[in-house]
Amino acid sequence: MNSEFIWPIRVYYEDTDAGGVVYYANYLKFYERARSEWLNALNIDQLLLLSEKVAFVVRKAEIDYIKPARLNDSLQIITRIKRLKAVSIDFEQQISIIKSGFEPELINKVKIKVACLNIESFIPCRIPIQVKEELQRVS
């Protein structure tokens, strides 16, 4: 595993608006899926964390819509950790269109701050040590 995680997706009809382009809010869903898949690839079990009353929640998102994605486009999402703190993680993510024979074309990027919370009190808590160590290893 290296400092970035690449996750491929395809745009389906359900992702688009009446104009056949990806509905703006769905980019956030794509980013969420990529972060979840990265945790899965690192063997970080979110169900186990939930059973321990710990969850990661988005605290802040700053998104830049550069170009639209369209129905059936092949995309790749790149996820990187920018900063890892005691109770939060700053991510940088980007989406590019993949076309055969061409370089990936950047169409969207985001800065996401994720906080670690106790799900009973909704108070920030420290990232579990085994999770933090694994994230430090790949960032």
The whole model's pTM is what? 0.93
Residues labelled catalytic = 17
Question: Which secondary-structure segment (H or E) carries 48?
Answer: helix 46-51
User: What is the band of 1 on the pLDDT scale with cuts at 50, 70, 90?
Assistant: very low
List the CATH number of the domain containing 74: 3.10.129.10
Contact in structure between 124 and 86 (CB atoms under 8 Å): no
CA 30 to chain centre: 7
**Using one digit for the tens of pLDDT, what is the confidence trace for 8-36?**
999 999 999 999 999 999 999 999 999 99
CA distance 87 to 56: 9
List the domain range (segments joined by +) for residue 40: 4-138
Domain count of the chain?
Answer: 1
**Using one digit for the tens of pLDDT, what is the confidence trace for 71-118?**
999 999 999 999 999 999 999 999 999 998 999 999 999 999 999 999
Average pLDDT score over residue span 54-62: 97
Q: What is the pLDDT of residue 3?
A: 86
